[in-house]
Amino acid sequence: MPNAYSRAQKAHDDSNSIRLQKLLAQAGFGSRRKCEDMITEGRVEVDGELVTELGSRVNPKTQQVRVDGSRVRVNPNHVTLALNKPRKVLSAMDDPKGRYTLRDIVGDKYERIFHMGRLDYDSEGLILMTNDGELSQHVMHPKYEVEKTYIATVEGKLSGTVCRRLVKTGVQLDDGWIKLDHCAIIDANRDYTMVKVVLHSGKNRIVRRIFGSIGFPVKRLVRTQIGPIKLGDLKSGSYRVLSQTEVRSLSKEVGL
């Protein structure tokens, strides 16, 4: 009998399999009842095959599940962290010079975990870390450059006109022209200006180089958001595990 079992149906005999609606609930799609409705409405695929039967089981380690075309990522071995990097911490897991690194914050609790992108030594704020290689490749790939938000404190009184020019025209650096996606003054006095900037570029020290090129050296730089993931009230030098809903949102942002 041809096609007697779909890939999803074969998972019934897999000791690592779970019910499809349970997996979707664990991935943050809502209650099991809501996930059951998603299945019966024909919104769920397993390994490219539409699944509408509520008895279907899947192995999250070996099978690919999609909802409305977006990948569902529930591998129990994968973990993704949001870390608030303090100043004078190296964006690396080890340093031959003995400087404080990300490993000193997260320890050895998670195997093969690494950072997705960097912050320079004197900058602070959000760094994402994971042991999910596919997610990391997409987050860091130039094709999927996600928006990054920073709060920069610069020397001098920055005007709204300069902010608008950085968005509309940009500046020319040694490695080409660059524009901000968004620039807004938060606070200012005669000596310093606090400004919120958003941009897609992940080039090295890009925010510092942009403002330095127009005569406003950055005195403090804090990254507060990467794509849909926000730093929030996470304390400096600490980290938290992203929820499945957050991981799903980030994955969707980078085409997974």
Q: Which residues are known catalytic residues?
A: 120
Residue 149 identity (one-letter amino acid):
T
CA distances from 99 to 80, 93, 150, 161 (A): 24, 10, 25, 40
Q: Closest Cα partner for 8 from 52, 57, 50?
A: 57
Strand partners, 194: 153, 187
Q: Is 165 exposed, middle or buried, given 0-12, 13-18 or 19+ CB atoms closer than 10 A? A: middle
Separation CA 76–CA 130 (nearest Å): 13
Separation CA 153–CA 91 (nearest Å): 21
The alpha carbons of the chain give a radius of gyration, in whole angstroms, of: 22
Separation CA 69–CA 18 (nearest Å): 21
Separation CA 140–CA 114 (nearest Å): 12
CA distances from 2 to 32, 49, 52, 58 (A): 32, 15, 19, 21
